[in-house]
């Protein structure tokens, strides 16, 4: 939790610096903005864990800013604290009705601010763990993957960077379940989930996409490098069988790889391209990695 990123939106440079200093001393990462419009840009650019905002600001006030944050599906669940000199009951009511999770009046006690920040981050952390984690494999789930992919697309567009997207499919998983039972099938999914956690780079992101499919985002990575990394992963999966109840189960995977923005410049297009490439891997004999090619779209 100490590495949480907090966005502070405040038009007074002195107050902004004070809040920033208090948060930095407690080990938080801090992003700042001077008004609501800058705040919305910051939310789009950064993966923010908490927003602390003033109300009375130029261009876009805190109430409008909070409303815009809550309208966006990518940011609607970010906890939001108003920190304002407007301390009337109607102001607080408006704040909570507008979507705030807490309301602190100025002047404020730094210790109280930190207690409230810590409490709200703990609650949010528990919620996110439950809402965004696949209960079987411990990887992120489809819901969080969709959120993460949208963020990576946005950042890659802004900074003109490419990245790779890979979709894994466990070969003949239905036959595996039918032959050995669903309990062993679950162990196969757990095995691959653990494998991805242990073998991917720190910068990479993996999730269970659904059923026997897994997805990997490879930031700032070309298609050629993505292919090389995924082939290494495929070979490693093949060479490391699952050992369960004294029995050995050999597993292979088929993989499809696409690159942003070469193959698709939206999350939806990129997933389709990687899925088309995965289909090619399956029809080519499985246990292989295929990169998306434009001709695949013409043939599909």
Is the predicted pLDDT of residue 254 greater than 90, yes or no?
Answer: yes
As a whole number of angstroms, the distance between CA 64 and CA 52 comes to 14
Residue 70 vs residue 298, higher pLDDT: 70
Over residues 49-68, mean pLDDT:
95
Tens digits of residue pLDDT in 113-141: 999 999 999 988 888 778 889 999 999 99
Identify the structural domains of the chain with CATH numbers, from first to last.
5-130 (3.40.50.2300), 142-299 (3.30.70.270)
DSSP string, the chain: -TT-EEEEE-S-HHHHHHHHHHHHHTT-EEEEESSHHHHHHHHHHS--SEEEE-SS-SSS-HHHHHHHHHHSTTTTTS-EEEEES--SHHHHHHHHHTT-SEEEESS--HHHHHHHHHHHHHHHHHHHHHHHB-TTT-SB-HHHHHHHHHHHHHHHHHHT--EEEEEEEETTHHHHHHHH-HHHHHHHHHHHHHHHHHHS-TT-EEEEEETTEEEEEEET--HHHHHHHHHHHHHHHHHS-EEETTEEE---EEEEEEEETTT-SSHHHHHHHHHHHHHHHHHTTSSSEEE--HHHHHH-
Tens digits of residue pLDDT in 183-193: 999 999 999 99
pLDDT of residue 130: 81
Q: Active site includes 212?
A: yes
pLDDT of residue 55: 96
pLDDT of residue 192: 96
Catalytic entry in 212, 235, 269, 280: 212
Confidence category of residue 53, pLDDT binned at 50, 70, 90: very high
Instruction: Report if pTM > 0.85.
Output: no
């Amino acid at each position: 939790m100490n590495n949480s990123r907090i966005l502070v939106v405040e038009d007074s440079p002195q107050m902004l610096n004070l809040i920033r200093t208090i948060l930095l001393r407690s080990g938080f990462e801090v992003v700042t903005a001077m008004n609501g419009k800058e705040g919305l840009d910051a939310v789009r650019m950064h993966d923010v864990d908490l927003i602390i905002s003033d109300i009375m600001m130029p261009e876009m006030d805190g109430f409008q800013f909070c409303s815009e944050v809550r309208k966006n599906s990518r940011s609607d669940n970010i906890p939001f604290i108003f920190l304002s000199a407007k301390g009337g009951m109607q102001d607080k009511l408006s704040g909570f009705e507008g979507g705030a999770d807490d309301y602190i009046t100025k002047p404020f006690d730094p210790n109280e601010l930190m207690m409230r920040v810590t409490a709200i981050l703990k609650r949010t952390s528990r919620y996110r763990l439950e809402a965004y984690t696949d209960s079987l494999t411990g990887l992120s789930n489809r819901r969080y993957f969709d959120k993460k992919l949208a963020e990576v697309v946005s950042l890659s567009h802004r900074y003109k960077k490419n990245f790779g997207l890979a979709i894994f499919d466990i070969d003949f998983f239905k036959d595996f379940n039918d032959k050995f039972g669903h309990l062993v099938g679950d162990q196969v999914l757990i095995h691959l989930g653990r494998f991805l956690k242990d073998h991917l780079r720190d910068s990479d992101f993996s999730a269970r996409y659904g059923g026997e499919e897994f997805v990997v985002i490879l930031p700032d990575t070309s298609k050629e490098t993505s292919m090389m990394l995924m082939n290494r992963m495929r070979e490693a999966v093949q060479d490391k069988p699952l050992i369960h109840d004294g029995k050995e189960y050999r597993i292979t995977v088929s993989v499809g790889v696409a690159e942003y923005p070469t193959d698709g410049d939206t999350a939806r297009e990129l997933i389709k391209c990687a899925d088309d490439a995965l289909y090619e891997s399956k029809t080519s004999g499985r246990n292989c990695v295929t990169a998306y090619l434009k001709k695949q779209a013409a043939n599909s």
